[in-house]
């Protein structure tokens, strides 16, 4: 096989692994426009379809589907290609240059410190959160399947050949999209690695926290220096006995114990829950004191005796008996299994549970609620508007790559700032009114900081590119940027250094907002979710579900009580910031809603849409107060003036419009 060219452009240079049904190669890509090296998985076909060959075909197809779902995430290998040639099937993926975690920890290397293990757990939990957010369970998490990438030092999770779909999205008879959970379906074939595989997985019933169990065992291995299969089990409870082998902080012991509990109901139920438990140790390691740990193995709620060595095999009769190219891969995705919603995720609410604003008649535009001025000067869409704290200056960012300053009272153009290499998508003002930050969708460094007193560029932040949104903390110490690569970056404004990168979304993060007290960060994403983070620690507090299309904009009320979101599902969500509870859903726009803003007194919401309208709503009741019409293009951005008397809007029609709110109660 060495030297053979397959797929017309992949030359095999090394055999990495081999089994009865699958071979893995390192290959040279002869296409100069593609990465020079890649990894190829070769499913060996057979004329005879057996239960085992069918199982391999199904797992092979699941791996392709999983990698396709995770394409936007940098800590899993990128799927490059898959094809059929001479009745053989191939999957081509990114070659990760680095060292397997198994070569960096015991028994190959020395035992790890507790702080090293804390950081390891946090990084892998963050990866698993992405995987689980796509309804996937990895099922073979172990040191050999984690590579410390040489280029940036990040861990990359590889080998999705054992992945299982835990849930899928279905459309109900009422047209609502919801997660399809199926706890209790028949068991499947057990897949995994002994020692890292919990009881329910060995019985063919994996759950998301089966991956959490495997990670806990990796952490214990790093601390104790012992392989999981070398550890003893309590004969009565099945719990792992490891605490006497190492002296670490009680806080870390408690977390690891909960990760590896025998019964899945007694483990962390989600990666978010585990991350929240771990966050205090990540943020303040100096407060985690090492102390002797007494050997104490808690009893599970229910005793489960014995280990099943042979599990049932079930074949889905509706699947075909052979693989084709794309269509056959789709057919072989198999049955869907359950991911139980956790308490810190707000699931999509039933229509009867959502308070919807009902409008039999739409208020007409009165002389007191009219457009007062139109500003022209941009030569492309206006993507962002912001108003200085003094209420006199309006700032706009546009697809023409400029930032413009306007006199709000006269409409006069005061100054134009150039120097952006791409469209300006977001503007953020510091609370003291001295600093402006701008973000652009540029391949070059995209975040710029401007001194408002001089209207001059101060500096460029980091080397981050393709930024959709920026926000500044009230104390002016922290800048947040949201990115096309699904990450959120937290920057120290005084040093201009990156503090941390938040990973959790599965697609482009379109909007970020910081609470008035500077403690909470909210993000909205193309993946249809809203995430609430602890800005200080970076811990993910909760994920809000409910929108059925991408979340385009998020805003936090000035009183810090309410979160408002707008979506391309044509709805506005109103949420309690502290609990994540969805209070109501507003409907009325006939097209994508791109922007929401909240009035300075936290009483009103303004929304702008592709239907070219701006709607004004009562925040507490959801009542529609009025509708503004006048733009000839999509409404992209909105802002209230500090005195709450005007709304400013930016549009695809290249104009900015000012709307009076006098007379609105």
CA distance 57 to 53: 6
Q: Would you tell me how many other CB atoms lie within 10 Å of the CB of residue 98?
A: 18
Which residue do the tokens 């609410």 mark?
Answer: 349
- Looking only at the bridges linking them, the beta strands covering 146-149 and 98-100 are antiparallel
Distance of CA 575 to the CA centre of its chain: 19
Q: Is 353 helix (H, G, I), strand (E, B) or coil?
A: helix
- Report the phi/psi class of residue 353: left, alpha or beta, with left for phi > 0 and alpha for psi in -120 to 50: alpha
Q: E-assigned strands of 388-466?
A: 393-398, 403-407, 413-417, 424-429, 435-440, 447-451, 456-461
Give helix then strand counts, H and E, for the chain: 7, 44
DSSP symbol at 367: G
Q: Which two tokens stand for residue 232?
A: 């003893």
Dihedral sign for Cα atoms in the order 388, 391, 393, 396: positive
Q: Which residues contact 311 (CB under 8 A, 6 or more apart)?
A: 187, 189, 190, 202, 203, 204
- CB-count burial class (<10 Å; 0-12, 13-18, 19+) for 167: buried
Active-site annotation holds for 302: no
State which H helix or E strand residue 257 sits in.
helix 250-259
Catalytic residue from among 81, 140, 302, 517: 140
The string of DSSP codes covering 374-390 is: EE---SS-EEEEEE-TT
Bridge partners of residue 564, in order along the sequence? 555, 574
Sheet architecture: strand order including 467-472: 467-472, 478-483, 487-492, 497-503
The CA-CA-CA angle for residues 393, 397, 402, to 5°, reads 105
- CB-count burial class (<10 Å; 0-12, 13-18, 19+) for 613: buried
Q: E-assigned strands of 413-549?
A: 413-417, 424-429, 435-440, 447-451, 456-461, 467-472, 478-483, 487-492, 497-503, 509-514, 520-525, 530-534, 540-544
Bridge partners of residue 397, in order along the sequence? 384, 403
Q: Is 199 helix (H, G, I), strand (E, B) or coil?
A: helix
CA distance 560 to 643: 18
CA distance 434 to 362: 41
- Looking only at the bridges linking them, the beta strands covering 467-472 and 146-149 are unpaired
Q: E-assigned strands of 58-194?
A: 79-85, 88-94, 98-100, 136-137, 146-149, 155-157, 164-165, 168-171, 177-180
> Alpha helix (H) ranges present in 260-333?
271-283, 326-331
The radius of gyration computed from the CA coordinates of the chain, to the nearest angstrom, equals 27
Q: Which residues are catalytic?
A: 140
């Amino acid at each position: 096989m060495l030297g053979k060219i397959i797929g017309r452009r992949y030359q095999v240079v090394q055999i990495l692994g081999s089994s009865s049904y699958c071979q893995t190669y390192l290959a040279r890509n002869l296409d100069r426009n593609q990465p020079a090296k890649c990894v190829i998985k070769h499913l060996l076909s057979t004329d005879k379809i057996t239960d085992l060959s069918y199982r391999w075909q199904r797992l092979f197809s699941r791996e392709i589907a999983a990698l396709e779902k995770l394409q936007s995430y940098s800590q899993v290998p990128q799927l490059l290609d898959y094809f059929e040639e001479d009745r053989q099937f191939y999957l081509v993926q990114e070659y990760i240059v680095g060292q397997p975690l198994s070569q960096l920890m015991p028994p190959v290397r020395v035992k790890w410190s507790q702080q090293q293990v804390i950081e390891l757990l946090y990084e892998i939990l963050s990866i698993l959160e992405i995987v689980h957010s796509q309804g996937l369970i990895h099922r073979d998490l172990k040191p050999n399947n984690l590579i410390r990438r040489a280029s940036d030092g990040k861990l990359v999770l590889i080998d999705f050949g054992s992945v299982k779909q835990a849930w899928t999205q279905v459309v109900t008879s009422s047209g609502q999209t919801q997660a399809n959970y199926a706890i209790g379906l028949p068991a499947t074939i057990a897949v995994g690695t002994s020692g890292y595989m919990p009881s329910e997985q060995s019985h063919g019933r994996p759950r998301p926290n089966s991956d959490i169990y495997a990670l806990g065992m990796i952490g214990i291995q790093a601390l104790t220096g012992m392989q999981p299969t070398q550890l003893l089990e309590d004969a009565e409870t099945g719990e792992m006995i490891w605490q006497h082998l190492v002296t670490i902080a009680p806080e870390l012991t408690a977390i690891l114990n909960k990760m590896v509990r025998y019964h899945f109901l007694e483990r962390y139920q989600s990666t978010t829950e585990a991350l929240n438990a771990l966050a205090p140790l990540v943020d303040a390691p100096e407060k985690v004191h090492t102390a002797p740990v007494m050997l104490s193995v808690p009893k599970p709620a229910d005793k489960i005796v014995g280990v099943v060595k042979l599990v049932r095999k079930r074949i889905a009769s509706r699947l075909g008996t052979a693989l084709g190219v794309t269509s056959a891969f789709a057919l072989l995705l198999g049955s869907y299994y359950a991911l139980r919603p956790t308490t810190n995720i707000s699931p999509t609410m039933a229509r009867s549970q959502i308070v919807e604003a009902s409008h039999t008649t739409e208020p007409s535009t009165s002389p007191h609620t009219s457009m007062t001025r139109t500003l022209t000067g941009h030569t492309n869409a206006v993507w962002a508007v912001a108003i200085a704290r003094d209420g006199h200056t309006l700032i706009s960012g546009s697809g023409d790559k400029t930032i413009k300053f306007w006199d709000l009272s006269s409409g006069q153009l005061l100054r134009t700032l150039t120097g952006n290499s791409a469209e300006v998508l977001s503007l953020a003002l510091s609370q003291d009114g001295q600093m402006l930050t701008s973000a652009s969708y540029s391949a070059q460094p995209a975040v710029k900081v401007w001194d408002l007193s001089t209207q001059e560029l101060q500096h460029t932040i980091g080397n981050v590119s393709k930024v959709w949104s920026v926000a500044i903390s009230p104390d002016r110490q922290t800048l947040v940027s949201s990115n096309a690569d699904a990450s959120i970056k937290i920057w120290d404004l005084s040093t201009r250094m990156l503090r941390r990168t938040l990973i959790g979304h599965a697609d482009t993060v379109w909007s970020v907002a910081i609470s008035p007290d500077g403690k909470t960060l909210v993000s909205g994403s193309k993946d249809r979710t809203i995430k609430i983070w602890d800005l200080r620690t970076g811990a993910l507090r909760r994920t809000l579900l409910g929108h059925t299309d991408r979340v385009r904009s998020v805003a936090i009320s000035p009183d810090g009580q309410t979160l408002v979101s707008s979506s391309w599902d044509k709805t506005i969500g109103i949420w309690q910031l502290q609990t994540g509870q969805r209070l109501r859903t507003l409907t009325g726009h006939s097209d994508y809603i791109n922007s929401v803003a909240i009035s300075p007194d936290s009483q009103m919401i303004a929304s702008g849409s592709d239907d070219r309208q701006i709607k004004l709503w009562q925040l507490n009741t959801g009542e529609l107060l009025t509708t503004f019409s006048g733009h000839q293009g999509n409404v992209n951005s909105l802002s209230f003036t500090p005195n709450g008397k005007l709304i400013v809007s930016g549009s695809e029609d290249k104009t900015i419009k000012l709307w009076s709110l006098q007379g609105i109660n």
